[in-house]
A = this chain, B = another copy of it.
Amino acid sequence: MIGLGLIGGSLLRAASAVGREVWAATASEADAAAAGAEGFDASTDVEAALRRAAGQDALVVLAVPLTAIDGVLRQVGSCAPNCLLTDVTSVKSSVLASVRSIAPGTRFVGGHPMAGTAESGWRAGNAALFGGAAWVACVEEDTDLAAWAEVARLALDVGAHVIPLTAKTHDEAVARISHLPHLLAAVLATIGSEGGPVPMALAAGSYTDGTRVASTRPELVRAMTEGNREALLPVLDDALGRLGAMRGSLASTGGLAATINAGHKGAQALAQARELTPAGVRVDLAAPDAREGLRALGERGGRITAIADETAIGEVA
């Protein structure tokens, strides 16, 4: 584990709790000391940790901020150039491009656990963070499926379910359901607070829900939104178009039915999407079309819930 913030720290605890051999390195002396004090094998020597991983053919997890990925990849390239490698950052295309450029010999599988809190750092972490969460494990044209299965087993071991997608499909989806929410929350928190003390005194559920993620550390939000510019721009244009049409309708006819009814339908779609029927989909990871089979499952909103005998077992809506 390289990095011991919220995600890395939680994953170290969770993987250790299920009996995996884990060791960690982080640039933060404070985090390494805190993890060490709780009995974990943690140091500040990233290169030593990587060399140890190379020697044992261990899975290396990059749990560093997006802005630190390239620097750590250079260390991977020199200390563990052929290792099993994954990451947990919230944008996948740019990380994939960095790996192909900086550490092309690694067996890399992009990853993104869809779990988090507004808190950050080692002390905010906990072993249960990934229970029931979606964990994207990317499947590209050239993904090594043995490496993919290793990453998927780690996610499954810590209680997540696994969604196989390309980096591009992942990035388009998170622009809608993670990056746009963060930006709307920021705008809402600005407009609410700039109204002075009265709006703050009246703020209740709709405002506190709508602004909750605006408390996230700004550098984390900047990294993920700015790092996903290509997928985010059309989504922002969609939001601007809809808000502009709504504003026009309110000013002219006074009606907001189209906006509000569409939103209500959208909210119901989320509830429906969560009613998955275990359909017993099975993908043989040794089959020649295994990558297509995994991606087709992910693109239908399905997920992998177990891997047994080199077969991924999943469910879809």
Contacts and interface: CB of A to CB of B under 8 A. Distances in A.
A69 interface: no
Given A199-B173, A213-B210, A240-B247, A270 B192 contact: yes
A268 to B, nearest CB: 8
Interface in A197-238: 197-218, 221-222, 225-226, 229, 232-233, 235-238
A181 interface: yes
Interface residues of A, number: 102
Count the copies.
Answer: 2
Nearest to A247: B236
Which interface residue of A170, A177, A303, A317 has the most chain B CB atoms within 10 A?
A177
A177 B192 contact: yes
A107 interface: no
Contacts of A207: 177-178, 181, 270
A243 B247 contact: no
Contacts of A300: 197
B191 A238 contact: yes
Interface string A276-317: 000000000000000000000011111100000000000001
Contacts of A78: none
Given A256-B183, A264-B214, A177 B206 contact: yes
